[in-house]
């Protein structure tokens, strides 16, 4: 049977006469798609049916369960793989239980084996190489294709037109281009002074000036932050049942500032991945250290669960898994999450690779605590000055290391043990799912505490009545007494306590007990938050030492705002990482160390063993994914879709790039020429002729390229939720330019926030906070701002690499009826009225302001007719202009009201909701 069928194969191929005539088979373009589609489901990362795994060449050449190698390079006749594809026995023929592959595909696979069965690394996993710009030989020489080229991007775009009947669209009208580039770069219509300057003199030089002004505008960072905050799943609340407020807006501001000052992307990533590891340096000014910490809030934006009775370890684990998915999907364009339960079905990532990637993020101090520890404490400026003096004293009298530890502790209250890790609780419990609380006669254990070098404990506690005694013994419930401490009353407010104890080297279990005979059995006596073991404060005996100790205590106890950040466990608190069998955290298997698949490491790179190393790898110029993923995302933001359509997946299951050379050329330029700076890269893109084309599609162009894959015209893009609201406020003259700060609450319908166990309420912001840019709107995960959700904003529960733009009737209801949009319409109407006394010119001015173009008569006519109808209504009985509450009381006239209806219509025009 075997020789016969193999003979048939070869015979068929020879007879077909194509054996030598055709180009070698391409693995990536031709073979891998067939394997993905027909084979890997059963013979890949998830299953290895019959012992066969076709993921890599190495695994495919191993003999399967049958003992026969599936693939013998250069010898299809000996390859079981080919025999099974050709077999007529339904029990043998592959793919099993599915229709056989067609003749062409089988021929192709056979030829590929005959040619040596080369496995090629998927394009996205190969380092970015310099790419030559297509010369004029690749453009149609002397033809229209060379005309109007502005930069090299155009050469790549037009080189791809070879063989296609395509010609560049004319350049967009200056008014259109102005609106487009301004909305794209700043999320807002152009400010009047820039618009005037450009429209008065729409030359190349003026366009470049316009672009530079927009890139320099503070509005730039406020617009682009949204893209990053979607990836970072930024929200102002924690998620799940209680969904209480989380104070992380300083991170959001850090992102906006970073974009505005064009922080290089590698630095931007480095601080977010591992800023905490670079922040503990006495020489750093507080502001810089603070920035490095704040950047790591990126990893603390995961949903956490404060629900009563929830398992803190379960949600801590979920948060760490989410870090892995977020970094790999958002920053690396790779669906590593697939490997959480088993090997990746289509890309060469193993189950172990996933958990080694997880180990980078698993050894941090966060434990799903209520207070979101670890945090960065935002001390006042005067306190920071006192801290500087304190650390200088400490440095001198003890050591720089001791000064560093002290500074770190004052800023972060770390490293500390969270009391929620207590066990063996009797007459004691984890109150509010987070704090060890003891009742009279209660006891609990804190396992494995390293006491080496420590003789002092600083702890955060609260108690109801004074008079309780807290004892801590080592090793056994009745072991040696370490210390005994009277607990004062604090009305259960959190306070900081300190206690000294004799030296006791090594790791010990600590047994807590609490006595307070005056309490009823159910009364909570004392509760603990965190416990920090340290060396005794020096020079306690002399007055200077006492002074500095008092400073230290007041700094530690100072009430501050705080932002959750990353903090690596010290060695004594090391948390191992285990594989989870089938992805289930309740089934830990073997322990793993942090690391990356060898094949992804640039040659000669240091071993990658911690988050700092991970950050170095992430931003290494030979990392094949980081630059491509970001460049693709930026392209997508300007051109409506990525060069790789699936921005979240550059892997083999993603869509292949439409312009692979351009993607690599831009990625190389991003890293090498622009040194990871984003503004010059965006500038390259918006200065291209490709970007500046008109968006109108002729029937001919539609026939050749219906989806604009070849960019022979501009794409039309529906504005994002943020852009729509901000644009409306800007057109109305209402938009507040005030940047930064705590989130604000613009009007939203009543009754959106009805979260159980939460007293928090949506209180509409007063004054200009009502009109702030949408990036500052409070984002509550369990009840997000509804108008934004209807316009496809990301829920920010998990990393969102690509928003989907839908088009629904509920959206029409928002822009027609939402107070925010109707208020904007009323103010736009007043602006229109202020331009001219003639209604025709008022309407024209409004249209031009909203769309960037003067209205054609056939556009003006329906708007004027609407004004007439509305005016008749408001003059007559059917409508009352006095009802338009967003107009100032003195201006609720029929004329203004009628114009408000026109303005309302303007804000709903396709040409206004879309950027042309």
Partner 1 sequence: MKNDPSALLREAALETARWNTRRLFFRQIGIGLGSMALGQFLSGCQPSARTSAQSPLQPQPPHHRARARSVIYLHMAGAPPQLELFDYKPELAKLDGQACPPSLLEGKRFAFIRGTPRMLGPQARFAQHGQSGAWISDLLPGLAGVADEICFLKAVHTDQFNHAPAQLFMHTGSPRLGRPSLGSWVTYGLGTENENIPGFVVLTSGGNNPDGGKALWGSGFLPTVYQGVHCRSEGEPVLFLHDPKGVGRDLRQASIEAINQVNEQTFQTFRDPETLTRMAQYEMAFRMQVAVPEVMSLADEPDYIHRLYGTEPGKTSFANNVLLARKLVEKGVRFVQLYDWGWDMHGVSDDTSLANGLSTKCRQIDRPVAALLQDLRQRGLLEETLVVWGGEFGRTPMQENRLGLDQAFTGRDHHPDAFTIWMAGAGVAAGTTYGETDAIGYTPVSGKTSVHDVHATILHLLGFDHERLTYPFQGRDFRLTDVQGELVRPVLA
Does 346 bind partner 1 (CB under 8 A)? Our answer is yes
Answer for which of 372, 863, 895, 896 binds partner 1 (CB under 8 A) is: 863
Does 893 bind partner 1 (CB under 8 A)? Our answer is no
Number of H helices, E strands in the chain: 31, 15
Map residues 756-795 to x or -, x wherever contact with partner 1 holds by CB under 8 A.
Answer: x------------------------xxxx-xx-xx-x--x
Taking CB under 8 A as the binding criterion, the range among 5-13, 184-192, 237-245, 458-466 that sits at the site for partner 1 is 237-245
Which 622-641 residues touch partner 1, going by CB under 8 A?
640-641
Does 829 bind partner 1 (CB under 8 A)? Our answer is no
Angle at 436 between CA 433 and CA 440, to 5 degrees: 125
Answer for which of 78, 648, 664, 895 binds partner 1 (CB under 8 A) is: 648
Answer for which of 434, 870, 895, 896 binds partner 1 (CB under 8 A) is: 870
- Which one, 639 or 665, has the nearer CB to partner 1? 639
Does 37 bind partner 1 (CB under 8 A)? Our answer is yes
Taking CB under 8 A as the binding criterion, the range among 209-217, 497-505, 676-684, 809-817 that sits at the site for partner 1 is 809-817
Taking CB under 8 A as the binding criterion, the range among 268-276, 627-635, 766-774, 876-884 that sits at the site for partner 1 is 876-884
Does 601 bind partner 1 (CB under 8 A)? Our answer is no
Which 434-463 residues touch partner 1, going by CB under 8 A?
439
Query: Whole-angstrom Cα distance, residue 598 to residue 608?
Result: 10
- Which one, 533 or 874, has the nearer CB to partner 1? 874
Number of residues that bind partner 1 (CB under 8 A): 121
CB neighbour list of residue 679: distance below 8 Å, 6 or more residues apart: 215, 220, 262
- Which one, 334 or 412, has the nearer CB to partner 1? 334
Map residues 672-711 to x or -, x wherever contact with partner 1 holds by CB under 8 A.
Answer: -----------------------xxxxx--x---xxx---
Nearest to 250 by CA among 294, 284, 189: 294
What sign does the CA torsion over 376, 379, 383, 388 have?
Answer: positive
Query: Whole-angstrom Cα distance, residue 851 to residue 833?
Result: 18
Size of the chain, expressed as the number of residues it contains: 916
Which 409-438 residues touch partner 1, going by CB under 8 A?
425-427, 429
Does 193 bind partner 1 (CB under 8 A)? Our answer is no
Does 266 bind partner 1 (CB under 8 A)? Our answer is no
User: Closest distance between partner 1 and the C-beta of residue 780, in Å?
Assistant: 9
Query: Whole-angstrom Cα distance, residue 690 to residue 148?
Result: 10
Q: Hey, what long-range contacts does 484-493 have (CB within 8 A, 24 or more apart)?
A: 487/461, 487/463, 487/514, 487/516, 487/525, 487/526, 488/463, 489/463, 489/464, 489/465, 490/461, 490/462, 490/463, 491/462, 491/464, 492/462, 492/463, 492/464, 492/524, 492/527, 493/462
Does 402 bind partner 1 (CB under 8 A)? Our answer is no
Query: Whole-angstrom Cα distance, residue 336 to residue 599?
Result: 15
User: Closest distance between partner 1 and the C-beta of residue 204, in Å?
Assistant: 25
Taking CB under 8 A as the binding criterion, the range among 33-41, 58-66, 465-473, 509-517 that sits at the site for partner 1 is 33-41
User: Closest distance between partner 1 and the C-beta of residue 863, in Å?
Assistant: 6
C-beta separation of 375 from 297 below 8 A = no
C-beta separation of 322 from 303 below 8 A = yes
User: Closest distance between partner 1 and the C-beta of residue 880, in Å?
Assistant: 6
Q: 474: buried, middle or exposed (CB in 10 Å: 19+, 13-18, 0-12)?
A: middle
Which 277-306 residues touch partner 1, going by CB under 8 A?
303, 305
How many other CB atoms sit within 10 Å of the CB of residue 40? Answer: 23
Q: 492: buried, middle or exposed (CB in 10 Å: 19+, 13-18, 0-12)?
A: middle
Pull the structure tokens for residue 218: 């503070």
Query: Whole-angstrom Cα distance, residue 719 to residue 787?
Result: 13
C-beta separation of 409 from 427 below 8 A = no
User: Closest distance between partner 1 and the C-beta of residue 561, in Å?
Assistant: 26
User: Closest distance between partner 1 and the C-beta of residue 816, in Å?
Assistant: 7
Answer for which of 817, 834, 836, 838 binds partner 1 (CB under 8 A) is: 817
Taking CB under 8 A as the binding criterion, the range among 375-383, 392-400, 503-511, 853-861 that sits at the site for partner 1 is 853-861
Query: Whole-angstrom Cα distance, residue 443 to residue 529?
Result: 16
Say whether 193 sits in a helix, a strand or coil.
Answer: helix
- Which one, 603 or 751, has the nearer CB to partner 1? 751
Which 132-191 residues touch partner 1, going by CB under 8 A?
none
Tell me how far the alpha carbon of residue 619 is from its chain's centroid. Answer: 17
Taking CB under 8 A as the binding criterion, the range among 189-197, 246-254, 676-684, 745-753 that sits at the site for partner 1 is 745-753
Pull the structure tokens for residue 334: 């790779």
Taking CB under 8 A as the binding criterion, the range among 47-55, 739-747, 762-770, 812-820 that sits at the site for partner 1 is 812-820
- Which one, 71 or 884, has the nearer CB to partner 1? 884
User: Closest distance between partner 1 and the C-beta of residue 797, in Å?
Assistant: 4
Q: Is the peptide bond before 155 cis (omega within 30 degrees of 0)?
A: no
Where are the strands (E) in 719-849, listed by range?
A: none
Which 320-339 residues touch partner 1, going by CB under 8 A?
325, 329, 335, 337-338
CA distances (Å), 680 to each of 208, 576, 634, 644, in order?
12, 43, 12, 21
User: Closest distance between partner 1 and the C-beta of residue 624, in Å?
Assistant: 17
Taking CB under 8 A as the binding criterion, the range among 64-72, 112-120, 458-466, 648-656 that sits at the site for partner 1 is 648-656
Pull the structure tokens for residue 22: 């055709």
User: Closest distance between partner 1 and the C-beta of residue 646, in Å?
Assistant: 6
Does 518 bind partner 1 (CB under 8 A)? Our answer is no
- Which one, 310 or 404, has the nearer CB to partner 1? 310
- Which one, 4 or 804, has the nearer CB to partner 1? 804
The HSE-up count of residue 727 (CA atoms within 13 Å, CB side) is 30
Answer for which of 816, 835, 875, 891 binds partner 1 (CB under 8 A) is: 816
Does 913 bind partner 1 (CB under 8 A)? Our answer is yes
């Amino acid at each position: 049977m075997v020789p016969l069928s193999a003979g048939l194969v070869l015979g068929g191929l020879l007879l077909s006469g194509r054996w030598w005539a055709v180009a070698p088979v391409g693995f990536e373009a031709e073979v891998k798609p067939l394997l993905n589609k027909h084979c890997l489901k059963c013979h890949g990362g998830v299953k290895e049916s019959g012992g066969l795994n076709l993921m890599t060449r190495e695994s495919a050449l191993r003999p399967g369960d049958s003992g026969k190698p599936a693939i013998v390079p250069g010898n299809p006749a000996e390859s079981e793989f080919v025999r099974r594809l050709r077999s007529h026995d339904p029990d043998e023929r592959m793919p099993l239980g599915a229709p056989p592959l067609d003749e062409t595909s089988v021929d192709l696979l056979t030829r590929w084996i005959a040619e040596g069965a080369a496995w090629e690394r998927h394009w996205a996993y190969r380092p970015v190489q310099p790419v030559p710009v297509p010369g004029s030989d690749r453009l149609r020489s002397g033809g229209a294709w060379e005309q109007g080229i502005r930069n090299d991007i155009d050469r790549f775009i037009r080189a791809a037109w070879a063989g296609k009947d395509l010609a560049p669209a004319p350049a967009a009208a200056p008014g259109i281009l102005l609106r487009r580039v301004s909305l794209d770069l700043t999320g807002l219509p152009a400010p009047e002074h820039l618009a005037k300057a450009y429209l008065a003199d729409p030359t190349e030089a003026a366009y470049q000036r316009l672009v530079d002004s927009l890139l320099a505008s503070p509005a730039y960072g406020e617009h682009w932050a949204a893209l990053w905050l979607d990836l970072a799943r930024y929200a102002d609340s924690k998620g799940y049942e209680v969904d209480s407020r989380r104070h992380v807006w300083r991170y959001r501001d850090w992102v906006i500032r970073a974009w505005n000052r064009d922080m290089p992307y590698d630095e931007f990533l480095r601080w977010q991945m591992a800023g905490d590891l670079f922040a503990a340096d006495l020489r750093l000014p507080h502001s810089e250290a603070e920035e490095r910490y704040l950047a790591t809030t990126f990893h603390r934006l995961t949903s956490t669960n404060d629900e009563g009775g929830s398992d803190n370890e379960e949600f801590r684990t979920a948060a760490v898994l989410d870090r892995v998915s977020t970094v790999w999907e958002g920053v690396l364009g790779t669906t590593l999450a697939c490997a959480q339960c088993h090997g990746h079905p289509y890309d060469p990532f193993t189950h172990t690779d996933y958990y080694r990637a997880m180990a980078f993020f698993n050894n941090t101090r966060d434990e799903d605590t209520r207070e979101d520890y670890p945090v960065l404490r935002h001390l006042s400026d005067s306190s920071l000055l006192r801290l500087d003096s304190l650390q200088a004293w400490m440095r001198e009298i003890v050591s720089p290391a001791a000064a560093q530890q002290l500074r770190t502790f004052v800023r972060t209250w770390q490293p500390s043990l969270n009391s929620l890790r207590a066990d063996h609780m009797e007459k004691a419990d984890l109150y509010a799912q987070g704090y060890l609380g003891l009742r009279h006669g209660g006891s609990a254990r804190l396992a494995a505490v390293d006491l080496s070098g420590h003789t002092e404990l600083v702890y955060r506690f609260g108690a109801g009545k004074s008079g309780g005694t807290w004892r801590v013994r080592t090793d056994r419930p009745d072991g040696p007494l370490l210390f005994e401490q009277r607990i004062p009353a604090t009305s259960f407010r959190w306070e900081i306590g300190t206690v000294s104890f004799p030296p006791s080297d090594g790791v010990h279990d600590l047994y807590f007990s609490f006595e307070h005979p005056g309490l009823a059995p159910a009364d909570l006596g004392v509760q603990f938050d965190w416990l920090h073991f340290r060396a005794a404060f020096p020079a306690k005996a002399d007055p200077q030492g006492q002074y500095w100790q008092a400073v230290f205590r007041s700094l530690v106890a100072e009430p501050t705002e705080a932002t959750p950040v990353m903090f690596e466990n010290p060695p004594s608190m090391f948390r191992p990482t285990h594989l989870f069998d089938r992805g289930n955290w309740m089934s830990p298997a073997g322990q793993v160390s942090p690391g990356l698949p060898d094949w992804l490491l640039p040659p000669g790179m240091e071993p990658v063993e911690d988050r700092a190393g991970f950050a170095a790898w992430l931003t290494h110029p030979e990392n094949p994914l980081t630059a491509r993923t970001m460049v693709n995302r930026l392209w997508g933001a300007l051109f409506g879709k990525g060069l790789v359509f699936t921005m979240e997946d550059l892997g083999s299951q993603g869509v292949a790039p439409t312009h692979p050379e351009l993607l690599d050329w831009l990625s190389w330029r991003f890293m090498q020429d622009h040194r990871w700076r984003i503004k010059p890269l965006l500038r390259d893109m918006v200065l291209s002729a490709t970007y500046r084309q008109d968006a109108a599609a002729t029937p001919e162009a539609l026939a050749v390229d219906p989806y604009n894959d070849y960019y022979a015209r501009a794409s039309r893009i529906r504005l994002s939720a943020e852009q729509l609201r901000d644009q409306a406020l800007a057109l109305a003259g209402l938009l507040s330019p005030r940047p930064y700060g705590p989130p604000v609450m613009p009007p939203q319908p009543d009754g959106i926030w009805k979260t159980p166990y939460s007293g928090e309420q949506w209180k509409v912001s007063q004054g200009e906070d009502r009109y702030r840019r949408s990036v500052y709107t409070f984002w509550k995960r369990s009840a997000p701002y509804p108008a934004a959700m209807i316009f496809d904003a990301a829920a920010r529960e998990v990393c969102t690499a690509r928003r989907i733009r839908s088009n629904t009737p509920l959206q029409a209801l928002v822009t027609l009826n939402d107070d925010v949009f109707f208020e904007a319409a009323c103010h736009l109407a007043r602006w229109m009225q202020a331009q001219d006394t003639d209604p025709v010119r008022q309407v024209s001015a409004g249209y031009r302001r909203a769309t960037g173009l003067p209205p054609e008569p056939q556009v003006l006519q329906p708007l004027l007719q609407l004004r007439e109808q509305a005016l008749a209504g408001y003059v007559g009985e059917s409508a009352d202009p006095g009802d338009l509450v967003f107009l100032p009381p003195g201006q609720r006239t029929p004329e203004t009201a009628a114009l408000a209806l026109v303005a309302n219509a303007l804000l709903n025009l396709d040409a206004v909701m879309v950027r042309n």
